[in-house]
A and B are shown apart, each in its own frame.
Chain A
Amino acid sequence: MRRFQGVVLALAVLAGGRAHADMVDIKFGGLISSDIRYRLAGATIPAEGLVVPFPSQQRLLPYGFSRNENTIKAQLSLSIASKVKAVADVDFVWYGFSDLRDIDSATLQERVDPYRLEANAAYVDVYRIIPKVDLRIGRQVVVWGTADKFSPTNNLNTLDLSDPLLFGRALANNMVRLDFNPWGDIILTAVWVPIFRPARLPRTAPFALSDLSRPAPVQEDSIREILGTFAAAMPPTTINVATMQPPPSIDNSQVGVRLAGRLLNQDVSLSYYHGRWGLPVPAFTTNKPGGVVDVAVMWPKMDVVGLDLAGSIEKLGGLGYWVEAAVFFPQMVTYGVYNDAFGGHDPITFVPRMDDPSRYTVKIGEPEAQRGTVIPSEPFFKLTAGIDYSWNKYLYTNLQYVHGFIDEFGAGKECYALPGELPGGHTRCERRIGDYLVLGSDIKLFSDQLMIRIFGAFKIPHHDELDPRFTAVLFPQIAWAVWDATELSLGAFVFLGDRATKFGYPAAGATELFLKAKFTY
């Protein structure tokens, strides 16, 4: 450790020229954790016969271990006076599953015991680079918004959805951030993100695109029915999903501006974001001979104008409240359908019928005709409004109304195949931007050493839904701080609903029991 500090100091002195070793303040910390989870009543993902992504032993079974991780986190902070700070935050993660695709793999440590590296931060801060302006360059997370976890204005970093227990965690990305603080708590923040980084998806997510019975992701009922008829007539045997990543051009940079301040002692901010939605949407499909279907997904562009406020209502005992709203202006995404099954590459398009414009007829080889709409260009609105309150030293409650879950994007509707239906069968549709009630409580006992937490998110049926169905997630856990910086936790993440609902659909995930241990140093 001493040698390491010496190297750091030497680097600081050499690099800084004027910096003196005794001026560098070094802070080192991190955590060591273990995370074991068991899956209950899920779907097999990937399905039997399909290739399992890395590591290949980690196929999600209906009943089986879904996570077996160990993590060592290392955080290093170097600062010189109150002028400069450099921060690194790295997770070394061992999957706990092997990746033995052949016998040679069994000779390699990295295949027998695979691991990965996650860099959560690697940035340099320069404070007051010019008067009242701070600069941060590097890999970082910029958090906007006042809501808890469900922040529609928080779009600069995409989400890490790989772990439902870390709900709302963002993926760090390389950015340039400027904060101009002219007075008090008025802050104007500008952020430039050169390269878009897509969200990290849960291991169950590809199921949505490889699910043979899932209806075509288009808004027009008639086109969806026609494509369903095709699927029923020529059921796909294999679905391959390709990605259309945004090229690293300046056009694909993201930018954001936010002005935050205080009005009547309430925190208020206005924000604007130009960039992309972090989750992929299907844009093309090509039917090939033998029932093979190639699907291509892309990350649509969007502009977001947001407003948030937060404060405390003294007349209600200091009740905390927050409201965060955003209007999204999405790039329109259409569904290009091609048929290669008969040797050509024929676009399949649609034209409205003369007698009923809501019904369509199919055109083959006429690319100028209409495609189905995946994401309409119509702006849509997301909102989170919440309150929280500490009843006493033992009990804390948090309640939020959420219009638009974190993975919901675009106006229109989302359709699911009803349970047991074959391709082209009956479906159930609901509004794409749903309404949810998220509520939870912490009970803290024994000087906060024992915490019992129960959180849940319940989907509220919309009044015009034809077939409303119950769906929810529950997150009960017990966390025991056995000693300073040491915590054991036991709990579950429970998905409720049938497969034609948001949380019951297998791509959303499945119920897991977990046992975690964490020591922070």
Chain B
Amino acid sequence: MRSTIALAILLPAVALADGPSPAEVLQKTDKAMNAFKDGMFESKLRVKQNDGSYREYAFTTYQKVPEKRLVRFSSPGDVRGMGFLVENKETMYVFLPGFQRVRRMGTHVKNQTFMGSDFSFDDMSQTTFGATYEPKGMSQDDKHYVLELKQKAGLDLEFPNLKVWIDKSSFHPTKQEFMDASGKKLKTQIRDGYTYDGKGHHQPGRVLVIDHRRNDHESEIVFSSAKFDSGLPDDLFTQRSLIRGN
């Protein structure tokens, strides 16, 4: 407790000396990552195989800030038509076209990987850091703030510690290291190929995940297009929409 108070006293001093405080950087990052009302993203999930080749899944993601998300798969054939709807952290549905059925999913699915890749469901639904993490330290180089985050009290996350490299100009993350409670690095995420549409929206061209627990196994999501603030209707994020599939 005493050390926390000491840290709290020290942090503003650091902020005054070197620019924004860790809390301000975190807040600005969350704001930059959600600098749109809605978005539509065409992308491919690529899962690296042992022989160096990739398995690919094509999907479209519709997102409405803050939490709503609809994912529809278009290839390969065995997943075409499948869809996920995330209404909030506790309410998720999957549509299985073979059964013509929408199924409510328990949030335990977050323990699974996303389509067998190195992305977890938490990775896929992460829109902010501040909801689950709080800063415990920060350093910087000429291009990045390097935020050290820890999970908020009362949470039991898979990765209790996080290190995030944040671009100083855009406040978008370019690299994240996911660690366990002891600080051991378990996973790395790299976001690169950022583009800027001139309207305040930065979009990575690729998100790469390396899982160090699986011999540095790699998966990546490559974005082919991103469209922001096109006025996606609320009824797109409903079970009816999931069934309609268009």
Residues on A close to B: CB < 8 A?
A: 25, 27, 29-31, 79, 82, 85, 125, 127, 134, 140-143, 146, 179, 181, 184-185, 187, 262, 265, 267, 310-314, 317-322, 388-393, 396, 444, 447-449, 483-485, 487, 518-521
Q: Contacts A388-B106, A393-B113 known; A520 to B78 CB distance under 8 Å? A: yes
State whether the Cβ of B90 lies closer than 8 Å to any Cβ in chain A.
Answer: yes
Complexed CA–CA distance, A361 and B120 (Å)? 70
Q: Contacts A267-B104, A314-B107, A484-B55 known; A82 to B116 CB distance under 8 Å? A: no
Q: Which of B29-37, B128-136, B187-195, B234-242 contacts A (4 or more CB under 8 A)?
A: B234-242
| Interface SS, A side | strand
Are B105 and A448 in contact, CB atoms less than 8 angstroms apart?
Answer: no
Q: Contacts A30-B77, A312-B90, A314-B90 known; A319 to B100 CB distance under 8 Å? A: no
Which residues on A sit within 8 Å (CB–CB) of B199?
A: none
| Distance of A278 from chain B, by nearest CB (Å) | 17
Given contacts A142-B100, A314-B107, A487-B78, 4 further A-B contacts (CB under 8 A): A85-B246, A127-B244, A318-B110, A520-B78
Q: Contacts A29-B80, A181-B240, A187-B240 known; A449 to B116 CB distance under 8 Å? A: yes
Which residues on A sit within 8 Å (CB–CB) of B111?
A: 317-318, 390-393
Which residues on B sit within 8 Å (CB–CB) of A146?
A: 103-104
Which residues on B sit within 8 Å (CB–CB) of A181?
A: 235, 238, 240
Q: Which of A27, A311, A448 has the most CB of B within 10 A?
A: A448
State whether the Cβ of B181 lies closer than 8 Å to any Cβ in chain A.
Answer: no
Complexed CA–CA distance, A142 and B120 (Å)? 32
Q: Contacts A25-B246, A449-B116, A520-B76 known; A134 to B108 CB distance under 8 Å? A: no
Q: Which of B78, B92, B108, B110 has the most CB of A within 10 A?
A: B108
State whether the Cβ of B112 lies closer than 8 Å to any Cβ in chain A.
Answer: yes
21 contacts between A and B (CB under 8 A): A25-B246, A27-B80, A82-B246, A85-B246, A140-B100, A146-B104, A312-B107, A312-B108, A313-B106, A314-B90, A317-B108, A319-B106, A319-B108, A322-B104, A388-B106, A389-B106, A390-B111, A448-B116, A449-B116, A483-B55, A484-B56
- Count A/B pairs, Cβ under 8 Å: 115
State whether the Cβ of B161 lies closer than 8 Å to any Cβ in chain A.
Answer: no
Are B116 and A447 in contact, CB atoms less than 8 angstroms apart?
Answer: yes
Q: Range of interface residues on chain B?
A: 35 or more
Are A448 and B113 in contact, CB atoms less than 8 angstroms apart?
Answer: yes
Complexed CA–CA distance, A179 and B113 (Å)? 34
Which residues on A sit within 8 Å (CB–CB) of B80?
A: 27, 29, 520
| Distance of A120 from chain B, by nearest CB (Å) | 9
> Which chain A residue lies CB-closest to B97?
A75
Which residues on B sit within 8 Å (CB–CB) of A185?
A: 238-240
Q: Contacts A125-B244, A179-B240, A185-B239 known; A310 to B115 CB distance under 8 Å? A: no
Are A318 and B106 in contact, CB atoms less than 8 angstroms apart?
Answer: yes
Are B78 and A184 in contact, CB atoms less than 8 angstroms apart?
Answer: no
Complexed CA–CA distance, A484 and B76 (Å)? 6
> Which chain B residue lies CB-closest to A25?
B246
Which residues on B sit within 8 Å (CB–CB) of A483?
A: 55
Are B239 and A187 in contact, CB atoms less than 8 angstroms apart?
Answer: yes
Are A312 and B104 in contact, CB atoms less than 8 angstroms apart?
Answer: yes
State whether the Cβ of B201 lies closer than 8 Å to any Cβ in chain A.
Answer: no
| Distance of B119 from chain A, by nearest CB (Å) | 11
> Which chain B residue lies CB-closest to A187?
B240
Are B108 and A318 in contact, CB atoms less than 8 angstroms apart?
Answer: yes
Are B217 and A447 in contact, CB atoms less than 8 angstroms apart?
Answer: yes
Complexed CA–CA distance, A185 and B237 (Å)? 9
Are B100 and A143 in contact, CB atoms less than 8 angstroms apart?
Answer: yes
Set A143, A390, A447: member contacting B117, Cβ < 8 A: A447
Complexed CA–CA distance, A351 and B88 (Å)? 64
Are A320 and B105 in contact, CB atoms less than 8 angstroms apart?
Answer: yes
| Distance of B60 from chain A, by nearest CB (Å) | 13
State whether the Cβ of B162 lies closer than 8 Å to any Cβ in chain A.
Answer: no
Are A521 and B244 in contact, CB atoms less than 8 angstroms apart?
Answer: no
| Distance of A140 from chain B, by nearest CB (Å) | 8
| Distance of A491 from chain B, by nearest CB (Å) | 18
Are B112 and A390 in contact, CB atoms less than 8 angstroms apart?
Answer: yes
Which residues of B47-84 are within 8 A (CB) of A?
47, 49, 55-56, 76-78, 80
Which residues on B sit within 8 Å (CB–CB) of A311?
A: 104, 106
Which residues on B sit within 8 Å (CB–CB) of A444?
A: 116
| Distance of A292 from chain B, by nearest CB (Å) | 44
Complexed CA–CA distance, A118 and B100 (Å)? 17
Which residues on A sit within 8 Å (CB–CB) of B91?
A: 262, 265, 312
| Distance of A256 from chain B, by nearest CB (Å) | 15
Which residues on A sit within 8 Å (CB–CB) of B239?
A: 185, 187
State whether the Cβ of B196 lies closer than 8 Å to any Cβ in chain A.
Answer: no
